[in-house]
Amino acid sequence: MFGNKDVGDAGIAALAAAIRGATSNSELVVFEQLDLSGCNVGDVGAEALAMALESHPGCIKYLDLSNNDISNDGAIAIGRALSSGRKGVTHCLDMSNNPNLGNTGASALAGAIACGTVQNLVLRSCNVQAEGAKAFGEMLKILSAKKIIEWVKIDLSGNPLGILRKVKKGPKYSASALKSKASATTVSYMNFIGNKIKSGLKEVGLDGFADNFVNSSESDDDEEERLGSGESADDVDPSKARCGAKAFAGAIVVGDNELGESKSPTETSVKCELGLRHCYFDEGAADALASAILQARDRFGIDLSIDARMSPALEEVLVDALATGGGSSDRLEGMSERHMQALEVIRISELRAMEAVAASRKRAAYEENEDDFASIDFVAREDDGGDSDAAYDDAAFDDAGEYD
């Protein structure tokens, strides 16, 4: 039925009903391959297929729903149906080029992989961003623990995961973005640090202080809302984009201060091929992916290889190292070391932000209860000739360390 736009949701619903009524054997394979790409399928049709998959887990081995109009709702329904299916039933699922399929739909489909019912998932050219990429990192850890399938293939190529973007007019790629890839990487790290500081201030009730904290980033929620409201990824400011590669790696990688002594697993628990072509990654993203490859191998026994071709800012040697996976450890270790150093900068910044919050709280407490400290000021004036600042420091910042 490939390319038949007259099929639509009504036709898919009728097909799903026929599958459900065709046999009482829930394990019978009805279609080895069902190609419904370009058939004008929306969420209603996807939900009808989900009902057939849930009642007959093995009815379709390879399902192609690419080039349709399925959003998160339809993807969630299919992901839930496959997750509830009989374990050991493996499916290949292609939902590429459904532009409204984003993070929540991708996360539901990642859950189906974690259950071992899907081994090959293709989500090319959808709208999967950082949170969706993170869900696949979490999924790999679950798979390594369960050891229910030996390999998995995931293709997220063409999704807005990198911080460099294609421009709508003019040259094919933004020359300024490619020339300043190092600056964009630095900005993305600093934006992340700034958001952590602001979040810490708000957690302790210093909303006003946090709102006045100035950096070049937006909050994660604002970014998600902006991208999810229909704004094209082509319009995203590179300095404000969240990096899907770093989000994916963040689900796997821990800092040096948390890692401790690690021992390489004696055997590989799962082999994963991850497609991330044409995602506009910078060098910082490649470094994060290198860390993910090494720690996935050493901590979880995951043999991870990543196809990051067609990212113009990445040198060929970096792309080759990611594709080789653990077999190119020397190059990967250098890339990973840069990423771990960046994580350490973030950790130190978070620590300093916490110290600043503690100092601000003590200062606020002092100012609200100034009368209670009058006797302290009086003693200070007698002891040090009226240096009230010394008394202020002793009372307000005793536990906060040096105050600048």
Q: For position 102, what pLDDT does the model report?
A: 96
Q: Is the residue at 164 inside a domain?
A: no
Largest pairwise CA distance in the chain: 96
CA separation for the pair 152, 304 (Å, rounded):
10
What would the two tokens of residue 351 be? 């620590």
Q: Are residues 331 and 218 in the same domain?
A: yes
Q: For position 87, what pLDDT does the model report?
A: 58
Q: Are residues 197 and 271 in the same domain?
A: yes
One digit per residue, the tens of pLDDT, for the chain of length 404 reads 787 888 999 999 999 998 887 766 666 778 889 999 999 999 999 999 999 888 888 888 899 999 999 999 999 999 999 988 665 567 899 999 999 999 999 999 999 999 988 999 999 999 999 999 999 999 999 999 988 888 999 999 999 999 886 444 444 444 444 445 444 444 555 555 555 555 555 554 555 444 444 443 333 343 334 333 333 444 444 445 689 999 999 999 976 555 544 545 547 789 999 999 999 999 999 999 999 999 999 999 999 999 999 999 999 999 999 998 755 578 899 999 999 998 888 888 888 888 888 888 888 877 777 666 555 554 444 444 444 444 434 444 444 444 34
Q: Are residues 314 and 381 in the same domain?
A: no
Q: For position 366, what pLDDT does the model report?
A: 77
Q: Are residues 339 and 242 in the same domain?
A: yes
List of residues 6+ apart from 388 with CB closer than 8 A: 377, 380, 381
Q: Is the residue at 70 inside a domain?
A: yes
Q: Are residues 279 and 377 in the same domain?
A: no
The whole model's pTM is what?
Answer: 0.71
Q: For position 343, what pLDDT does the model report?
A: 84
3-state SS, one letter per residue, for 240-277: HCCCHHHHHHHCCCCCHHHHCCCCCCCCCCEEEEEECC
CATH number at residue 30: 3.80.10.10
Q: Are residues 303 and 375 in the same domain?
A: no
Strand order in the sheet with 118-122: 31-35, 60-64, 91-94, 118-122, 151-155, 270-275, 302-307
Domain that holds residue 114: 8-127
Q: Are residues 183 and 323 in the same domain?
A: yes
Q: Are residues 41 and 109 in the same domain?
A: yes
Q: For position 376, what pLDDT does the model report?
A: 53
Are β-strands 31-35 and 60-64 bridged in parallel, bridged antiparallel, or unpaired?
parallel
CA separation for the pair 138, 274 (Å, rounded):
14
Q: Is the residue at 295 inside a domain?
A: yes
Q: Is the residue at 32 inside a domain?
A: yes
Q: Is the residue at 319 inside a domain?
A: yes
Closest by CA to 284, choosing from 175, 166, 162, is 162
Q: Are residues 67 and 193 in the same domain?
A: no
Q: Is the residue at 139 inside a domain?
A: no
Q: Are residues 122 and 221 in the same domain?
A: no
Number of domains present in the structure of the chain:
3
Q: Are residues 223 and 322 in the same domain?
A: yes
What would the two tokens of residue 137 be? 């990192």
Q: Is the residue at 45 inside a domain?
A: yes
Q: For position 214, what pLDDT does the model report?
A: 41
